[in-house]
Amino acid sequence: MPGHFHNPVATCFGSGSLQHLRTLTEARTVALVTFAEARSLGLVDRVKHLLGERLVYIIEDVQPNPDVAQLRGTYERFWAEAGDCDMVIALGGGSAIDTAKALIVGTASGQFDELLGLLALGESFVPVRSKALIAVPTTAGTGSEVTPWATLWDTGQQKKYSLHLPCTWPVAAIVDPDLMLTVPAGVTVSTGLDALSHALEAIWNVNANPLSDTFAVSAIEDILDCLPSLRADLGCKVLRGRMALAALKAGMAFSNTKTALAHSISYEMTLRHGVPHGIACSFSLPLVLGLAWGRDRGRDQVLQRVFGDDLGQAQARLRGFLHGLGVKTEFADYGVPEAEARAMIASALQGARGKNFIGAQAA
């Protein structure tokens, strides 16, 4: 097990921490990347108030699961119209942060297809220009604020691109649970389950280390305890704070391990069956727990810190937790027949994320 843990993101956490944007952007010019409802929620005005004339450009039409068809125009406009700005602030869920990560990686031509060509090679590269990124999540789930990873979708071609470069680590993350108070129940659940998946995937992972385990176990305990209560009391500041911290801890965990089999399965479930990310990467957790259990004594011990030493009970607890949140746990529930499910798992194990799974060799 590697003993090295690295995370370069300066993180501000807590109620009211949005105000740190003012000091973090001092003497810089800034572009804001956010989601369509941010303006009606008053978030664009709050950022304008904090930044004043430093805010020189706003992109406010980020779509869920950023797709290359839409990103192309946004990217090329951004570099043509705001190429001189110093920083980008991503304010929103995983889609806003992932979109911003794509935008900050500049190509020589300013053309988006040049970036896609580089990503298609699957190798690291040094971009000719880039921007500093500050990530401000408005959901408790993505973890993208403390990782360099971004997923870009090409639904037309039924494929996805994974972006991660040294420059796509945010320089700073601001995790302010007050920004999450208006998130509706469905998104609260799906994003919370994304965080649960990040934490579990960091444990059944060949890249796990003692520090990622510490973050992951703590995140799982918090989410199992807190998410059902939060779903029943969406305006509770204490519970929003606990879930925000849990999602941040899960993000810290997988910032060092990447995700594994459940996420690898999720990509096909999202592309082929339109299942939202948080559900697509969590419905299979009881199944993947069963595939992970017994593969590695050290990994079992970490899982048993949360679930005890009986696999059947552990899976039943996880299944019951998901069902209690209204999430179905079988492939058939999503219209995927058994043969297709088996093929999907086999193919997911061969994917980049699937290979991080501790059972990838033997499964």
- Phi and psi at 311, nearest 5°, equal -60, -45
Strand residues in the chain grouped as ranges (E): 10-13, 30-35, 55-62, 87-92, 105-106, 129-130, 132-137, 150-154, 159-163, 172-175
Of residues 196-225, those binding Fe ion (CB under 5 A):
none
98 part of the interface to Fe ion, by CB under 5 A: no
Least Cβ distance, residue 259 to Fe ion (angstroms): 6
Residue number, 254 or 307, with CB nearest to Fe ion: 254
Minimal distance in Å, beta carbon 195 to Fe ion?
A: 8
**Residue position matching structure tokens 């579990």:** 200
Residue at 207: amino acid letter: N
C-alpha angle 162-70-183 in degrees, rounded to nearest 5: 80
- Which C-beta is closer to Fe ion: that of 58 or that of 202? 202
Q: Where does residue 46 rank: exposed (0-12), middle (13-18), buried (19+ CB within 10 A)?
A: middle
Binding mask 46-85 for Fe ion (x = CB under 5 A): ----------------------------------------
The residue within the footprint of Fe ion, chosen from 98, 194, 222, 300 (CB under 5 A), is: 194
Tokens of 159: 């494929």
Cβ within 8 Å of residue 359, ≥6 positions away:
204, 261, 291, 292, 295
* Residue with nearest beta carbon to Fe ion: 194
* 281 to 320: interface string for Fe ion, x by CB under 5 A: x---------------------------------------
Number of residues that bind Fe ion (CB under 5 A): 2
176 vs 194, beta carbon nearer Fe ion: 194
Q: Where in 244-273 is the site for Fe ion (CB under 5 A)?
A: none
Strands 129-130 and 105-106 turn out to be antiparallel
Q: Which stretch binds Fe ion (CB under 5 A): 16-24, 42-50, 278-286, 335-343?
A: 278-286
Q: How far is CA 244 from CA 61, 65, 74, in A?
A: 24, 21, 29
Q: At its nearest, how many Å lie between Fe ion and the CB of residue 299?
A: 20
Q: Work out how close the CB of 166 gets to Fe ion at its nearest, in angstroms, rounded to a whole number.
A: 21
Helices and strands (DSSP H and E) totals, the chain: 14, 10
Span of 29-37, 171-179, 219-227, 280-288 interacting with Fe ion by CB under 5 A:
280-288
In this complex, which beta carbon is closest to Fe ion, that of residue 34 or of residue 151? 151
Q: How far is the CB of 264 from Fe ion (least distance, A)?
A: 11
Asked if 183 and 138 count as a contact pair (C-beta separation under 8 A), the reply is yes
DSSP 120: H
Q: How many CB atoms lie within 10 A of CB 118?
A: 18
Q: Give min distance, CB of 35 to Fe ion, in A.
A: 17
Q: In terms of residues, how long is the chain?
A: 363
Beta carbon of residue 331, minimum distance to Fe ion (angstroms, whole number): 19
Axis crossing angle, helix 210-232 with helix 237-257, rounded to the nearest 10: 150
Q: Please report how close the Cβ of residue 168 comes to Fe ion at its closest, in angstroms.
A: 16
Q: What are the backbone dihedrals phi and psi of residue 327, each rounded to the nearest 5 degrees, phi first?
A: -105, 125
Nearer to Fe ion, 78 or 283 (CB): 283
Q: Name the residues that contact Fe ion, by CB under 5 A.
A: 194, 281
